[in-house]
């Protein structure tokens, strides 16, 4: 099978808290009949829109792909391990929490048995936008239960302002909600297991309430010191000119970077893993060997492990998100080669 970058077609997912305006990434999409909250970029039902797998779904294709596509470390994976989404909240998401892998294996086998650690990158944010992430210091299970009884659980969560370019690391067990006025790119384990804690007593279209999952949420909720919070990225110059790379966060499940360039930027895949590129603004072409394809904001591109050298040629100033499943020891060496201090490396590498 020909090895080439492949664009993935998105899936638009309605959510009660979503928006009918998907600008600036999907402003030419057909008008939605109900609010769209999530745009899935790598879900099982997403299809390959270019390349040798064109027309096939990610789910049906994945198990049959060779190490040249998946990478030697991921050859045995039965499902694409990274789920990428855009989030378009126009109302608050429910206050919620996700389980870790061990809890999911024991209690959620029917839902895939995979936990959900994630991170968010703010593609855009309106003035005053905010989210809540992690518990405030001193919050105990007893205080949290009382807040639930009072329908005021938000008071237990830390409030964080959001500006364009901010990033947040959200390990499993972190209570959170996201407010309106932000456009987030979410990188996560491939899992859709969410335990809803509080949904602001709002009705669905049929008048019913969405179910809560308080028992499971209290099982997995992280009390005490919190591991979540802002991801303070570290920027490095990667080649002559204005091209920049910002390392945002890395954990066993994903590593995420932002690339910014106004001319050309060179890249090279590693044989041990595939990677995903998501342009967020700007347009241009992806070149490899003697071929090229145009890229546009909002697209997701899968680059096979065996692709090797490629080049991104900007026709306008480009910002894109790059993510992959890392070898953390190898990544640590890469960060050291950029002469990052121990504290800078620790800010990026998370367990």
Specify the pLDDT at position 240. 64
Global pTM reads 0.96
Look at residue 22 and tell me if it is in a domain: yes
Domain boundary among 230, 255, 280: 230
Q: Are residues 42 and 189 in the same domain?
A: yes
Q: Are residues 271 and 333 in the same domain?
A: yes
Specify the pLDDT at position 128. 97
- For the chain, 351 residues long, give each residue's pLDDT as a single digit of tens: 799 999 999 999 999 999 998 988 998 776 778 999 999 999 999 999 999 999 999 999 999 999 999 999 999 999 999 999 999 999 999 999 999 999 999 999 999 999 999 999 999 999 999 999 999 999 999 999 999 999 999 999 999 999 999 999 999 999 999 999 999 999 999 999 999 999 999 998 888 999 999 999 999 999 999 999 999 999 998 876 789 999 999 999 999 999 999 999 999 999 999 999 999 999 999 999 999 999 999 999 999 999 999 999 999 999 999 999 999 999 999 999 999 999 999 999 997
Q: What is the CATH number of the domain that holds 210?
A: 2.60.120.10
Look at residue 196 and tell me if it is in a domain: yes
Specify the pLDDT at position 301. 98
Specify the pLDDT at position 238. 81
Quickly count: other Cβ atoms within 10 Å of residue 130's Cβ: 16
Specify the pLDDT at position 242. 80
d(CA 106, CA 311): 44
Look at residue 1 and tell me if it is in a domain: no
Specify the pLDDT at position 33. 82
Look at residue 317 and tell me if it is in a domain: yes
Q: Are residues 271 and 190 in the same domain?
A: no
Burial 104-116 (b: 16+ CB within 10 A, else e): beeebeeebbbbb
Q: Are residues 161 and 38 in the same domain?
A: yes
- Beta-bridged to residue 342, according to DSSP, are none
Structural domain that includes position 335: 234-348
């Amino acid at each position: 099978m020909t090895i080439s970058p492949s664009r993935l077609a998105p899936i638009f997912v309605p959510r009660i808290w979503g928006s009918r305006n998907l600008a600036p990434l999907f402003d030419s999409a057909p008008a939605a009949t109900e609010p769209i909250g999530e745009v899935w970029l790598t879900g099982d039902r997403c299809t390959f829109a270019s390349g040798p797998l064109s027309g096939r779904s990610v789910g049906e294709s994945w198990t049959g792909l060779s190490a040249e596509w998946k990478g030697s470390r991921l050859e045995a994976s039965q499902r694409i391990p990274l789920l990428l989404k855009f989030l378009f909240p126009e109302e608050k998401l429910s206050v919620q929490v996700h389980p870790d892998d061990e809890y999911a294996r024991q209690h959620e086998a029917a839902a895939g048995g995979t936990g959900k650690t994630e991170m968010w990158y703010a593609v855009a944010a309106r003035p005053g936008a905010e989210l809540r992430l992690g518990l405030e210091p001193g919050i105990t299970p007893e205080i949290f239960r009382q807040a639930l009884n009072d329908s005021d659980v938000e008071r237990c969560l830390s409030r964080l302002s959001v500006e364009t370019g901010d990033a947040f690391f959200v390990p499993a067990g972190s209570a959170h909600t996201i407010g309106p006025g932000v456009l987030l790119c979410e990188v996560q384990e491939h899992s859709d297991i969410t335990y809803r804690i509080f949904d602001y007593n709002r009705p669905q279209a049929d008048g019913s309430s969405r179910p809560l999952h308080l028992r499971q949420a209290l099982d997995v909720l992280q009390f005490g010191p919190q591991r979540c919070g802002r991801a303070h990225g570290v920027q490095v110059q990667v080649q002559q000119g204005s091209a920049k790379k910002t390392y945002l966060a890395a954990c066993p499940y994903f590593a995420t970077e932002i690339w910014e360039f106004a001319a050309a930027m060179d890249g090279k895949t590693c044989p041990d893993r595939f990677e995903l590129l998501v342009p967020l603004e700007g347009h241009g072409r992806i070149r490899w060997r003697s071929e090229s394809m145009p890229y546009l904001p909002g697209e997701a591109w899968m680059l096979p492990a065996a692709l090797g050298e490629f080049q991104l040629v900007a026709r306008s100033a480009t910002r894109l998100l790059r993510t992959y499943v890392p070898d953390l020891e190898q990544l640590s060496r890469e960060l050291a080669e950029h002469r990052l201090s121990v504290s800078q490396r620790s800010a990026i590498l998370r367990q």
